[in-house]
Amino acid sequence: DPNVSPYEMIGGEQTVRQLVKAFYARVRVHPDLFPIFPGDWKETERKQYLFLTQFLGGPPLFSQEFGHPMLRVRHMPFPVTPKRAEAWLSCMRQAMDDIKLEGEIRDYVWERLVQTAHHMINTEEEAE
Ligand code: HEM
């Protein structure tokens, strides 16, 4: 059904909450990732919940609170290297495993996240 959003197909609010929780549980302990985060994990997780809801075609929660996502601009204060993009994606893949998100909808969500993660790269590896 083309009228059913990816958000609904994965299971809506409950699934998005589970996914971001499982994701940051991994980011928080990933040696390449945790040092560049501000450390307010509750707020980071909340923003990602608002964003992913909107990204997957659910209610526009992120924009209601923060305006246009401009995701690449919002990442400029943080050095996102190719290595960190791969680390981010590996945490997300494992989070999808953790919550048992499977099937075609997983593949669809994954492809969009891979594209977005690569788009966020703003720093060369050697500039570290
Ligand atoms: C914010 C890192 C990719 C969505 C952030 C922050 C960091 C970060 C350090 C600041 C956290 C905070 O302000 O609480 C990274 C790294 C990535 C990556 C290393 C590797 C490619 C992505 C992707 C998405 C995303 C692919 C979306 C699918 C967000 C959102 C915020 C955020 C929505 C909050 C923006 C704001 O309101 O300030 N990210 N990120 N990030 N990230 Fe990422």
Mean pLDDT by runs of 10 across the 128 residues of the chain is 92 98 98 98 98 98 98 98 98 98 98 98 80
Domain assignment present for 74: yes
Backbone angles phi, psi at 59, to 5 degrees: -60, 145
How many whole angstroms from 36 Cα to the centroid of ligand 1?
Answer: 10
ipTM of the complex in this document: 0.97
* Ligand 1 contact, 43 CB (< 6 A): yes
How many whole angstroms from 37 Cα to the centroid of ligand 1?
Answer: 9
Domain assignment present for 1: no
Percentages of the chain per state (helix, strand, coil), in multiples of 5: 65, 0, 35
How many whole angstroms from 6 Cα to the centroid of ligand 1?
Answer: 21
Residue nearest to atom 13 of ligand 1 (CA): 44
* Domain count of the fold of the chain: 1
Q: What pLDDT is attached to residue 29?
A: 98
Domain that holds residue 20: 6-127
CATH number at residue 98: 1.10.490.10
